[in-house]
């Protein structure tokens, strides 16, 4: 019985944490449609937070590859006074990247709805 209660409490805690993170992310990160993304990314810092092998397989033309796993050590490459447009494969890593950037003082944070997987614009492959 104690194990069942523990599992229920744990499940509720995970659900509450997930809901909290969802709403926090919505507050700090603007999710853009492909059309909105295309309209603004040329005037912004376009950052692909996927791993280098994913980036090499194809990326949005003009994007810089700063993987989420390296973001903390490469923050100096991103200006806090300019808009930041993030994307990953599906949108989850760009959300985590935005949370890290927000903690470091970045405020104009945007990401591509659905990620690169849904991108229909120009692509460059290495």
Burial class (CB in 10 A: 0-12, 13-18, 19+), 58: middle
- Name the helix (H) or strand (E) containing 59: strand 59-60
Catalytic residue among 49, 84, 88, 109: 88
Backbone angles phi, psi at 82, to 5 degrees: -120, 150
Cα(11)–Cα(5) distance, rounded to whole angstroms?
10
Q: Is 111 helix (H, G, I), strand (E, B) or coil?
A: strand
Cα(11)–Cα(18) distance, rounded to whole angstroms?
11
Q: Is 88 a catalytic residue?
A: yes
Cα(65)–Cα(55) distance, rounded to whole angstroms?
7
Catalytic residues: 88
């Amino acid at each position: 019985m104690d194990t069942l209660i523990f599992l229920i409490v744990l499940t509720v805690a995970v659900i509450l944490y997930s809901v909290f993170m969802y709403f926090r992310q919505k507050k700090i990160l603007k999710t853009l449609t492909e059309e909105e993304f295309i309209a603004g990314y040329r005037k912004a810092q376009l950052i692909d937070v996927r791993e280098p092998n994913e980036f090499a397989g194809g990326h949005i033309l003009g994007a810089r590859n700063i993987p989420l796993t390296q973001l903390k050590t490469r923050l100096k490459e991103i200006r806090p006074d300019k808009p930041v447009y993030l994307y990953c494969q599906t949108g989850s890593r760009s959300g985590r990247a935005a949370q890290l950037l927000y903690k470091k003082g970045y405020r104009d944070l945007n990401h591509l709805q659905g990620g690169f997987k849904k991108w229909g614009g120009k692509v460059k492959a290495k």
